[in-house]
Structure 1
C-alpha cells in the first residue's frame, strides 16, 4: 500500500461476489486479502436493510474473530464511498488478528438490541449459506 491508497475492511454485503461489492469495484478498489478481526468482535443481522447485511461491533468481553476482506481503494475515492454508507453503519477502526488496523464497517450498538446475533458463525458468508 502507498500513501495514495486506503485499506478498507468489509465483513458483509460488500465482500467479493456479494450484492454491494460493485460499490468497491466502481471506485477502483482492489482485493488485497482475506483475514479475521482480532478477538472481541460481534456480528448481528440487520434485516431492515436491502440487501440484508451485518452489523459489527467491538466488545472486549467476547472472543469471537469475524472474517473480513481487505480492499485497497484510491484515497481520492474514499469520500464517495463514505457517502453511500447509511445509518446505523459507519466507518471506524477495525483491528485485525495480526494487530494491524484498517478502516471498516462498524454499527451503532443501539440498533442491535433486537437484532439476531450471529457471532458464533464467525462469517457473514456462513450465515448466508444456511
Structure 2
C-alpha cells in the first residue's frame, strides 16, 4: 500500500495506544502520528465505563477540547476498524484544536443518552485514571 493511500484518523478512546482496541488499528497497518485535542466543540460520555462517546455540539452549546490521538490509517483499513468498533460509534469529521479537520471516531447522540457525561475530564485516559484512583467527579 502506498503512503498516499493512508488517511489521518482521530481516535479518542479504546483505539488509543495501549488500550483495548488499539490492536484493531495495528492489524490494518496504521501508524501513530501525534497526540492532539479537538477544538472546544465536543462533549464526551462514558458508555458503561467500557468506552467513550464523543459528540460535536452546536455552536451555542458549551463544548470542550477533548484529548485524542491521530493515526495514519490505510484507506482500505478504515472500514475494518469501524466494523470492529462498538455499536453506535461512527466515522465523521473532527475539528482539531488548530483548525485542521480530519476523519475521526464519533458517537451517535442516541448512544450517549442516559450515560455519564465525562466532558469535564477532557479525555478518556483522564477519566479512566480518575476511576482507578476513585476520584471521579
Fold similarity call, TM over 0.5:
yes
- Following superposition, which runs of at least 4 residues in structure 1 exceed 3 angstroms of deviation? none
In structure 2, the residue matched to 1:21 is: 22
Please identify which structure carries the higher helix content: 2
Is 1:56 matched up with 2:54? yes
Match status 1:114 vs 2:114? yes
Q: Which moved more, 1:111-120 or 1:29-38?
A: 111-120
Per the TM alignment, residue 11 of structure 1 is displaced from its structure 2 partner at its CA by 0.4
Unaligned runs of 5+ in 1: none
The correspondence of residues 1-130 of structure 1 with structure 2, limited to 5 A, is 3-47=4-48, 52-59=50-57, 60=59, 61-130=61-130
Q: C-alpha separation between the residues in 2 aligned to 1:114 and 1:90? A: 19
Q: Give RMSD over aligned pairs.
A: 1.3
Deviation at 1:87, TM superposition (A): 2.2
- What is the aligned partner in structure 1 of residue 134 from structure 2? none
What is the CA–CA distance in structure 1 between the aligned matches of 2:107 and 2:68, rounded to whole Å?
Answer: 15
Cα deviation per residue 1:42-101 (whole Å; 9 max; x = unaligned)?
A: 0000117xxx00000001311400001000011122222222234211111111011111
5+ residue gaps, structure 2, are 131-137
Deviates more, 1:90-99 or 1:77-86: 77-86
Provide TM-score, normalisation by structure 1.
0.91
Tell me, in whole angstroms, the C-alpha distance in 2 between the residues paired with 1:111 and 1:23: 22
Secondary structure, aligned partner of 2:106: strand
Aligned length: 126
Shift of 1:103: 1.0
